[in-house]
Structures are given as structure tokens and as C-alpha cells.
Structure 1
């Protein structure tokens, strides 16, 4: 019976849903992004954590934080992984 339950659970929940990672942002990153006056750009797609932004969206570096960048997209502040362009967090 236990094997059947485990097999059913494995089929119901894909590995990507089970193995999600949480990124811990330094407080300075959020503060810096919230203080910036960068103009917003329009993006037709949906802002989804983990999904990369297209090359057409300009991202901006964060001083002393090489693992994070930001953009202001559709009036929302977005923290990004600069290596992959993936959305890490939608701040606002």
C-alpha cells in the first residue's frame, strides 16, 4: 500500500514543484531597488518568478551585489538574476 501512495504522489507532483528553491535577498538589495528612479518599461508577458525576462528588457546592476540586478517593468520593481535574467522577486 505504501508503494502505491508514493507512486501516486510522485505522479501528482512534478519534481519542479517539489524542488523549488528560495532565494534569500539581502535587505540592502530590496532597499536599493525601491529607492531607484529608473523609468518603467512595458512588457507584454507576465512577470513570473523563475522565468527569464527577454533581452529587450534592460536590467540594471546593483552596486556591491553582483548576484542581483533589477528592472522596473509595467510599473513593478523586479529583482533579477543577472546571469540568467530570471525573475527572483517582484517587489512592487
Structure 2
């Protein structure tokens, strides 16, 4: 990683890995996102991601991490930190 890790309280290295993949994927799908705005307390919607962007970000992140999260686990308005914690449980 570059520079000091900006971990949210209660995160672990596996959750940081998920956050890193989510961040990289989100910036790839929606390059207009300001990298500094990608924080665990924000939602993908707040960052300007539409429903198709969000689905693609989640799908590609799960593929890269080789995990599967049941669709009923996802909730509209879920912040990035909660999303990362949900995915981390599948690692």
C-alpha cells in the first residue's frame, strides 16, 4: 500500500483488502469518482454511481475476491464500509 493506511475503526486486513478492491473497481467503472471521496462512510450512490454501476462494481469485486454474497444480503443505501464487511465475511 502507498502511505499510511486510513482504516476505519474496527476494520481488519481482510476488510482492508475488500475496501481496496472495491475502490479500484469503482474508480475503473466510474473514473469521475474523486479517489479521496471513496470512504467507508459514503455510499456508492453518493459517489455518483447509478444502479448499473453499483451492480457492476459489486459483481466485479466479488469475482476478483472469488466470493459469492447472496443478493438478499445487499440493501439500498448500504455504505461502503458495511458493504466491505459483508463481503469480508465470505473470504
**Who wins on radius of gyration, i.e. which is larger?**
1
Question: What TM-score comes out, normalization by structure 2 length?
Answer: 0.30
Structure (1 or 2) with the greater helix fraction: 2
- Say which structure, 1 or 2, has more relative contact order (CA 8 Å, 6+ apart): 2
Question: What TM-score comes out, normalization by structure 1 length?
Answer: 0.30
Structure (1 or 2) with the greater strand fraction: 1
